[in-house]
Structure 1
Amino acid sequence: MQTPIMDKDEKIRRNRAKTTQRIVEALEEVIAERGIEGVGVNRVAEKANVSKVLIYRYFGGMEGLFEYYVKMGKLFPIFTPSVLDQIRPLHESDIARIWYRQVIQTYRYFRTFKAAREILKASVIENDPIAETTARAQDDEMTRLVSQLSFVKGADTQAISAIILGAMTYLTIMAQNDRTMVSIDLRSEEGWNRIENAVKAIYISLNKMAIHTKDVELELQSSHFPVAQW
């Protein structure tokens, strides 16, 4: 049987979790309506129907709220050690599939949700503390994700990922602005199918190169569990 003190602590935790969720949902709505540069503590507090004091108490202000939002796992997946063990490639050729699936899924999410697309723009906004914090949090998450899913030693996976992820980020921003790239219509599904097929081809080629490069070592599963489908 729980003591009254334990009941009270649990109630406080649940209330904080619910309030945090309301604030995050309000943040998403304001971002979608006004863009990252139009977000302010008063607008978010009003949308969430909470005092702005709570935003400062929970997150330290808007910069902390944006950092929390980027790192909570909605934009970039957070893999536990057990999931990583399942994802680890079973065969040499699995690494390409792991990576192109992750890149394609991640940027499909960014293209689908306006608030997420607006978050990507933080990397091209200058002289704005919130944008700088948000861009830094995104880079931290991308760095973590690349580190978790590399499964490769002896290759510069960070530089390769910077090129691929940077290009996908830029193309996603261009798509929101109704632009084309090398005459590919980034507003159309046909255009993005071509982009995604190119991403697949790049990773498959890199995977083949890694297999035949003496200085590169691929980290495979030691067990015979199938590679997770995600």
Structure 2
Amino acid sequence: MPTRPPANPVKARDAAATRKRILAAVGTLLSREGFGALGVNAVAREAGVDKVLIYRYFGGIDQLTEAWASEMDFWPSVEEIVGDSPEPEPAALAAGMLIRHLQALRKRPLTLEVMAWEAVERHPLTRVLDRVREARSGQLMEALPEHLRGRGGDLPAVSALLGAGLQHLLLRARTVERYNGVPLGSPEGWERIEAAVHALCEGLLGRTESRR
């Protein structure tokens, strides 16, 4: 019975490098020109590859965008938000997760650019990015410990409210120095916001003994 020849490691490395270059080109186009620039031809030109390779590796522009959002550090991972050793107390755990989410987005200027565009422009590709975010949100809810679930009423809705508020402040910080008197252009302002997150979570989920 004939055996299949072993895979060529050089070709495998070349394919992986080409795939990575294509994904990087998506981020470059988004950063420079926005959603309107995305298309198979534009991405192929930016990456310096034949557009056939985009169809071969990804299937099309929607699948390419989803791969970019999933693989290129577009959205914070569950592990990044939960942290290495989450606090056992519900209020401290919830506040820590919200603050880590805030800090993770502050490190992702391109993500903030995309979020700003989505607020004013609907595009078929925003649905792809929505799916990635919703999938991560669902994974995050599943990762919550049992002692936090069921506390504070409708936890997904509460998380959406607080998370959306933090994201709005991040977007406003791109264009204004202060919001409601809070200096968004300085570390002091974000320290105040993080302290407010702790206070809100304590009010919602109950103060911990260490903060009484």
TM-score of the alignment, normalized to the shorter chain, above 0.5: yes
Q: Percent identity?
A: 28
For 1:42 and 1:180, the matched residues in 2 are separated by 41
> Within 5 Å, which residues of 2 pair with 1:113-128?
113-121=108-116, 123-128=118-123
Extract unaligned runs of 5+ from structure 2: none
1:190 and 2:188 aligned: yes
Say if 1:123 and 1:161 are closer, same or farther in 2 by CA, change over 3 A.
farther
For 1:15 and 1:126, the matched residues in 2 are separated by 36
Say if 1:20 and 1:78 are closer, same or farther in 2 by CA, change over 3 A.
farther
> Within 5 Å, which residues of 2 pair with 1:154-169?
154-155=150-151, 156-169=154-167
1:170 and 2:168 aligned: yes
Q: Partner of 1:143 in structure 2?
A: 138
- Deviation for aligned residue 1:195: 1.4
Deviation digits for residues 94-138 of structure 1 (CA, Å, limit 9, x no counterpart)? x43333333323332322332121232354244310123212322
Match of 1:205, as an amino acid? G
Q: Partner of 1:96 in structure 2?
A: 91
- 8 Å CA contact 2:105–2:111 kept in 1: the answer is yes
For 1:210 and 1:56, the matched residues in 2 are separated by 54
For 1:36 and 1:205, the matched residues in 2 are separated by 40
Say if 1:99 and 1:136 are closer, same or farther in 2 by CA, change over 3 A.
same
- Deviation for aligned residue 1:158: 0.6
- Deviation for aligned residue 1:43: 3.2
For 2:93 and 2:44, the matched residues in 1 are separated by 40
Q: Looking at both structures, which has the greater relative contact order when contacts are Cα pairs under 8 Å and sequence separation is at least 6?
A: 1
Q: Partner of 2:33 in structure 1?
A: 34
Match of 2:71, as an amino acid? M
Q: Partner of 1:68 in structure 2?
A: 67
- Deviation for aligned residue 1:4: 7.3
Match of 2:150, as an amino acid? G
The total of aligned residue pairs comes to 201
Say if 1:17 and 1:129 are closer, same or farther in 2 by CA, change over 3 A.
same
Q: Partner of 2:13 in structure 1?
A: 14
- Deviation for aligned residue 1:185: 3.0
Say if 1:132 and 1:22 are closer, same or farther in 2 by CA, change over 3 A.
same
For 1:203 and 1:6, the matched residues in 2 are separated by 56
- 8 Å CA contact 1:59–1:65 kept in 2: the answer is yes
- Deviation for aligned residue 1:150: 5.2
For 1:34 and 1:209, the matched residues in 2 are separated by 47
